Structure 1
Amino acid sequence: MRVGGAGLAATLAVGVASSPASAQAGAPSASGVQPIEITAEQVPGGNPTFEDLEQLGFGDFNCSFDPFKVEPVTAGTHNFPSPLNGSVTITLVPTAAGPTFNFRINGEFATIGVIVKGGPNANFYDYRPEGIGSDEVLHAPINPMNQGQTYYDLSHVDFCVIDSPYNGDNGATTNT
């Protein structure tokens, strides 16, 4: 069971709530983490990195290795770079609100942050401090040009992965 991190995300969301774009992030993930939209105005080009998030005041991201990118977002198991013995499994889940996905970190790792790019902006999911081994119903920001206010298509996903001996059970959430 994940026992923290949501408070920090909520605090950060309040800090960015004055931005009109923050209302377009969309619904929270299945674990209750509210995404925070990062706009192309905040990060030119609209492709934020974890380094960009640090510069925007979101705090430090001490990934165990370079952030792991899945591009394009495809279903299946994506192996971490050698010599790491781990991977992330992505399941694509179409919904009436648009494309979403579930993820599971495999091996003794967890993620403390996920950036989901779609359209001109990206959504940031904050799982600090302890991280999480899996979550469901992550998505890109809402496309305000659609009548139904559905999510943009998924472009790519970045994971800030950390070592976590508590996640050696193929994706169960960390810290019980």
Structure 2
Amino acid sequence: MRVATRARTQTRRARWGGRLLGAGLTTVVALGVAVSPASARQLDPGAPSSPGNVQPEEVGNGTFCPDGTDITFSLLSPIPTGHNEFEILDVGHIAVDVTSTTQTFNFSITGPLAARQIIVHSTPSANRYSYDAGTGFPNGRAQDGLLHAPSAEAGGAFNNLTSIVFCLINSPYNGHGTGTA
């Protein structure tokens, strides 16, 4: 059997120093517990897209396109505002309309491509829009609108766009103008 006892050779000053150190550590731990839930809370992903009605999922900034993605197309910061058109590997075009005041955007794709997922990055997080069988779009989607990054608080302004990643798949449907690919 082993018994641990405290040595009585400490000076009064050393004992008070140890007590203050213990009190300080207890305070730090208590503050850490009190602060950590608030700092770990998720951002508000915001309202669904329109007309696609796809609810965004708030994800981390380290999110990438899923397996099965044929082409990844990215717009990086600074995101150009207004109407922009981009050619995608001589296969199709993507038009992106960004509204700077609301930090939302619309997209439409022409050609044999459709969006499988769109990841909208901001600081410090991102929203993922999935256009798959689970959301009613098994062949992807060729257009949608009012996509945005998460907001810091429920109902608050959306965070600034830092990048938009389009995860595109080959689709036998053009979809432009119908909203469904």
TM-score range, shorter chain: 0.5 to 0.7
| The one of 71, 78, 84 aligned to 2:86 | 78
Structure 1 residue 149, shift from structure 2 partner? 1.7
Match for residue 64 of structure 2? 49
TM-score by length of 2: 0.66
| The one of 103, 108, 112 aligned to 1:108 | 112
How many residues matched?
Answer: 133
Mapped to 2, the partners of 1:170 and 1:133 lie a distance apart of 6
Query: Which protein shows a greater Rg?
Result: 2
| Runs of 4+ off more than 6 Å | none
**Unaligned segments of structure 1, at least 5 residues:** 1-18, 40-45, 51-59
Mapped to 2, the partners of 1:137 and 1:163 lie a distance apart of 24
Instruction: Tell me how large the CA RMSD over aligned residues is.
Output: 2.2
TM-score by length of 1: 0.67
Percent identity over the alignment is 32
Higher RCO, Cα 8 Å, sep 6+:
1
| The one of 134, 139, 149 aligned to 1:130 | 139
Match for residue 36 of structure 1? 57
Asked if the contact 1:47–1:117 (Cα under 8 Å) also holds between the matched residues in 2, the reply is no
Amino acid in the other structure paired with 1:126: S
Mapped to 1, the partners of 2:113 and 2:155 lie a distance apart of 37
1:17-38 C-alpha deviation (Å, 9 max, x unpaired):
xx941x6111100011000001
